[in-house]
Amino acid sequence: MADRMPRVVRATRLTLVSFAVGLALVAASVIAGGNWGAGYQYAAAAAFVLAWEAIRFGVWKSPDEEKRWLRAALIDTGKVMGLLLSVALAGAFITQLNDAVEQSARTASTAEDGSNHDRIHVRANLELSCTTTSAGVRNELISNLGDCECA
């Protein structure tokens, strides 16, 4: 048991330092806000995961099971953060895709409304000019506009 204590002490120190860094990064993310705050939050998450992995491999696992506890803790931290970043990127991609679809729907709706407005303005102008336009031109314009009738 005594031969294991130096490893436990080193792992505990790394855990305390990682946890303190994580708390400092959380405070920095609150102060910074925005995109910088999000970056600090990811760094804080990495620090907390490293603290957990240091306890897991440095204290709980016996030296016979895990000889290189620091390397194992760093590798597992990288795996967890890779998974978290993959999920975050997938969420960002889905958000961008959703925004693009909504923008496309708004543009189509606006274009449709705009063409109706144009049609109404052309119809009003045609009705005003019915008395001055020849019958052939007037009938051609009316057939293109649909239900517009000149009196």
Tell whether 22 is covered by a domain. yes
Distance of alpha carbon 62 from alpha carbon 81, whole angstroms: 25
* Widest CA span in the chain: 109
Tell whether 18 is covered by a domain. yes
> What are the tokens at 87?
């999920």
Tell whether 146 is covered by a domain. no
Number of domains in the chain: 1
Tell whether 119 is covered by a domain. no
Tell whether 133 is covered by a domain. no
Tell whether 50 is covered by a domain. yes
Tens digit of pLDDT per residue, the chain (151 long)? 677 888 899 999 999 999 999 999 999 999 998 889 999 999 999 999 999 999 999 988 887 777 899 999 999 999 999 999 999 999 999 999 999 998 888 887 765 555 544 454 555 454 545 454 555 555 555 555 555 444 4
pTM for this structure?
0.63
- Give me the pLDDT at residue 108, please: 76
- Give me the pLDDT at residue 151, please: 47
- Give me the pLDDT at residue 141, please: 54
Tell whether 54 is covered by a domain. yes
The closest alpha carbon to 73, from 59, 88, 87, belongs to 59
Sign of CA dihedral 84, 72, 75, 47: positive
The answer to whether 126 and 142 have CB atoms below 8 angstroms apart is yes
Beta strands, E only, the chain = none
Q: Domain of 30? A: 2-104
Tell whether 57 is covered by a domain. yes
3-state helix, strand, coil in the chain (%, to 5): 85, 0, 15
Distance of alpha carbon 12 from alpha carbon 18, whole angstroms: 10
> What are the tokens at 50?
């490293």
